[in-house]
Amino acid sequence: MPVSTSVVALSDFWMVASGMTRDVPRGRFHRSRLIRVLEDMALADLAESRQSLGDRLGQWLDFKDAISLYSVLHGGSSEGMDRSGQGMDVAGLRAEFDRVRASLMDAIRSDKQIDPSMVAASAHFSTESAVEFIPYHRSYLAHQRSMQTAAANLRTQVRMAASTCSPALRRLAALDGELERALGVRERGLLAALPMFLGKRFETLLTQAMEGGDDPAPGVWLAAFCRDVQTVLFAELDLRLQPALGLLEALDKEGTGQR
């Protein structure tokens, strides 16, 4: 199911943010890009969970949420409904998705505060001890706010389109709406922890630069940190856009007659 991908990714990140990690060998092919990025930066080491997705969801949902999801999954058939969205512009929705994604990526790339090339070339960073994490934290939060607003609007737009189609897509749209309502607060709380991980990365790179036998060139370690910030932002963007992308893929299959 398309909406399950983002839920799995969030459940993995919940384990990281909750400290439920351990140093054990494991495969990574099923990890979300965000989790792989955090692991590569040595900021997270996720244990292989023995819980099913349903068990992990059960820890997040209260009784009312569970009833609402059950009602969507096991509600009455809507086979008699007209497929009024049969002629909808799926290509237009895909174009809007691509536009929003490209705009958010361009905003990240054009942010001078986290531009590695500008940082590396700036004489301002010749005194490494004067650098603080605060401006990078603020920049990250600004991008998070932009991503949250744009991704939520796009998700709503695609979901509304899906709700006018076949009974299966109507049910999928309803399920996505319930999941967004039930998990939205937890998602925002988990993603708000990302700057904390980057703060640790900042301190690690700064410490390594100060303790190194050879002093690094001005801005070298900070440019590396800025690349890390961009990488985490791109991975977070992918995560935030997964629900809308999953619904779009379902609409594409509906339009081509695939099941």
Note the pLDDT of residue 14.
47
Paired tokens of 193? 């922890």
- 8-state DSSP, 126: G
Q: What is the pLDDT of residue 28?
A: 45
Residue 79: is its pLDDT beyond 60? no
Count helices and strands in the chain by DSSP H and E runs: 10, 0
Confidence label for 105 from pLDDT (cuts 50, 70 and 90):
very high
170-218 pLDDT tens trace:
988 988 888 888 888 888 888 999 999 999 999 998 888 888 755 555 5
pTM, rounded to two decimals: 0.79
Q: CA nearest 44: which of 241, 221, 196, 236?
A: 196
Contacts of 84 (CB under 8 A, 6+ apart): 164
For residue 206 the two structure tokens come to 């700064």
SS3 assignment, position 7: helix
What local confidence, expressed as pLDDT, does residue 129 receive? 47
The pLDDT value recorded for residue 257 is: 54
Report for 8-17, 40-49, 117-126, 131-140: range of highest mean pLDDT: 131-140
Note whether 133 and 202 are within 8 A (CB). yes
Q: So what's the pLDDT on residue 73?
A: 72
- CA distances (Å), origin 91, targets 118, 250, 256: 38, 13, 12
Map out the domains of the chain as residue ranges.
Answer: 4-256
Burial class (CB in 10 A: 0-12, 13-18, 19+), 57: buried
Q: Is 104 helix (H, G, I), strand (E, B) or coil?
A: helix
Report which of 19, 26, 12, 22 is spatially closest to residue 57, judged by C-alpha positions: 12
Mean pLDDT (the chain, rounded): 77
Phi first, then psi: give them for residue 209, nearest 5 degrees.
-65, -40
The CB density around residue 108, as the number of other CB atoms within 10 Å, is 21
